[in-house]
Amino acid sequence: MRITMIGSGYVGLVSGACFSDFGHQVTCVDKAEAKIDALRQGKMPIYEPGLDQLVAANVAAGRLGFTTDLAPSVAGADAVFIAVGTPSRRGDGHADLSYVFAATEEIAAAVTGPTVVVTKSTVPVGTGDRVEAILREKRPDIDVAVVSNPEFLREGAAIGDFKRPDRIVIGTDDMRAREVMQAIYRPLYINDNPILFTGRRTSELIKYAANAFLATKITFINEIADLCEAVGADVQDVSRGIGLDNRIGRKFLHAGPGYGGSCFPKDTLALLKTAEDFGSPTQIVEAVVKVNDSRKRAMGRKVLAALGQANGGLPSDNGARGKTVALLGLTFKPNTDDMRDAPSLAIAQSLADAGIRVRAYDPEGMEAARALLPDLTYCRDAYEAADGADAVVIVTEWDAFRALDLDRLKGAMQAPVLVDLRNIYRREAVEAAGFRYTAVGR
């Protein structure tokens, strides 16, 4: 199959590379010349484990190419995927669909024969209807079917998610489009991956509902963690105790500093806006957004409290001013360089507001973090970040932080205070090494 992928960001690049690895002929299109030039040289615009090798192998095999010229790539394609960004629109939180509709206009001008246009971008309910209306208005002479095919990729595990998916959701009532999509995903049949065919609007809503539900699980366990601290319980045991119930499940029940990233924050806001537009309020999701926003700020106060306890009481801003804190991990999750809505942003800001000097290290997110947090001191590793610090704070659970040399860490610090916002250490081991230890919900 000939596939054109419009948009070479996270979703478009991973999807395009994986489709080409299935044996399809794929062309990734992007307006950013610098990005396309870099991709042609084998340089990835994002960090995703294994992506550079996957791209290189399929470019070498002649199945994957990159261009800024959309028209010849669309002409004669069996399927054209729209995988452009849909960020939150300023002012109302709705998904900004301008890139989707701009791509649709260009597709309409370039298409030369029967094809299937697939929205891979995360889009609100009814977007496929508008895409179809644009195509039919501009090109009534061409048989074009519009399909919804949302992505369910986790950053840091995207290639595995694409090749071994929990499910493939395809929204269409057009039989020809259905056959094309089945042919595209045929290499996955051997793994017996379930393909769910639905109506287009249902498919669009599945994506938002899934992300909102996962965000709700995270927010729920974070509130339970606060209750655990108040009553003297252990949130990790609570998580295991409820997660062993198959009706609940164990995933996304890890207490921490709140969710971030490219999906959950914008998708929950977009779902709220859609529900508002249709007069069907989603009060649970509204509460999730509010609680998660306050959660990140609360983590800054948690660090201040840990500093105060180490000095015999809660510090005022004057008492905290001049102290140094080391932040380990800046990205919203490990195995990515994505800083979008990362908890570290709110935590670093709250510490800076209290007059605290912040030193930081992240295995992959330093370049992106510098643009958002220019006043931090960036270090080569965790031990350099801890040099002279009054507290070390684990914000992101990178593997590199799971087995730190606690003696070396303590030797570098001004005061042995460890604030573990991801609960990756055991209290007994940390306290045995001479640290004052603060965790979440424990």
Domain range list for the chain: 2-198, 208-286, 290-438
What Cα–Cα distance (Å) separates residue 298 from each residue in 264, 287, 422?
19, 16, 14
28 catalytic? Reply is no
Q: Which listed residue (28, 228, 263, 379) is catalytic?
A: 263
CATH number for the segment(s) 2-198 = 3.40.50.720
Q: pLDDT digit string (tens) for 275-289?
A: 999 999 999 999 999
pLDDT in tens, 204-213: 999 999 999 9
CA dist 43 → 71, 104, 173, 377 (Å)? 25, 28, 39, 27
pLDDT, tens digit (0-9, with 9 covering 90-100), for 239-256: 999 999 999 999 999 999
Whether residue 285 contacts residue 211, with contact meaning beta carbons closer than 8 Å, is answered with no
Q: Express each pLDDT in 212-240 by its tens digit.
A: 999 999 999 999 999 999 999 999 999 99
pLDDT at res. 170: 98
Question: Cβ(28)–Cβ(12) under 8 Å?
Answer: yes
The Cα 21–Cα 16 span in angstroms is 9
Res. 423: pLDDT tops 60? yes
φ and ψ at residue 79, rounded to 5 degrees: -145, 140
Out of 3.20.130.10, 2.60.120.460, 3.10.20.600, 3.40.50.720, select the CATH number for domain 290-438.
3.40.50.720
Output helix, strand, coil percentages for the chain, rounded to the nearest 5.
45, 15, 40
The answer to whether the CB of 414 falls within 8 A of the CB of 356 is no
Torsion (CA) 359, 364, 366, 369 in degrees, nearest 10 = -100
Contact 415/386 with Cβ under 8 angstroms? no
CA distance linking residue 111 with residue 344, whole number of Å = 45
pLDDT beyond 70 at 318: no
- Judged by average pLDDT, the poorest of 49-63, 84-98, 120-134, 418-432 is 84-98
Which amino acid belongs to residue 312? G
CA separation for the pair 205, 442 (Å, rounded): 37
For residue 66, the cross-strand partners are 28
* HSE-CB of 208 using CA atoms within 13 angstroms: 26
Six token digits for residue 94: 């709705």
Nearest residue to 3 (alpha-carbon basis) of 77, 55, 68 = 77
The average pLDDT across 289-296 equals 96
d(CA 435, CA 401) in angstroms, rounded, equals: 16
Q: Name the token pair of 440.
A: 């979440």
Percent of the chain with pLDDT over 70: 97
Q: Is residue 42 within 8 Å of residue 52, measured between CB atoms?
A: yes
The answer on pLDDT for 313 being more than 70 is no
- Are domains 2-198 and 208-286 of this chain identical in fold? no
Looking at residue 94, its pLDDT comes to 86
Quote the pLDDT of residue 433.
96
Its sign, for the CA torsion 391, 395, 400, 404, is positive
Six-digit token string for 233: 């319980």
CA–chain centroid gap for 377, Å, is 25
Q: Which of 157, 178, 179, 152 is nearest to 167 (CA)?
A: 152
C-alpha span between 160 and 168 (Å, rounded)? 14
CB 377 within 8 A of CB 357: yes
Q: Residue 109: is its pLDDT beyond 80?
A: yes
Establish how many alpha carbons lie within 13 A of residue 9's alpha carbon, considering only the half-sphere containing its beta carbon: 16
**Residue 144 main-chain phi, psi, to 5 deg:** -120, 125
CA distances from 60 to 63, 221, 329, 377 (A): 8, 46, 35, 41
CA distances, 13 to each of 10, 36, 71, 111, 153 (Å): 6, 11, 19, 22, 12
Which string of DSSP letters, residue by residue, matches 298-361?
A: HHHHHHHHHHHHHTTSPPPHHHHTT-EEEEE--SSSSS----TT-HHHHHHHHHHHTT-EEEEE
CA angle 181/187/191 to nearest 5° reads 115
pTM for this predicted structure: 0.92
pLDDT one-digit tens code per residue, 147-200: 999 999 999 999 999 999 999 999 999 999 999 999 999 998 776 778 999 999
CATH architecture of 208-286: Orthogonal Bundle (1.10)
Q: Considering only CA atoms, which of 172, 160, 163, 167 is closest in space to residue 194?
A: 167
Both tokens of 409, joined, read: 């860490």
Burial of 189: CB neighbours in 10 Å, binned 0-12, 13-18, 19+: exposed
Task: For Cα atoms 201, 202, 203, give the angle at the middle one, nearest 5 degrees.
Answer: 90
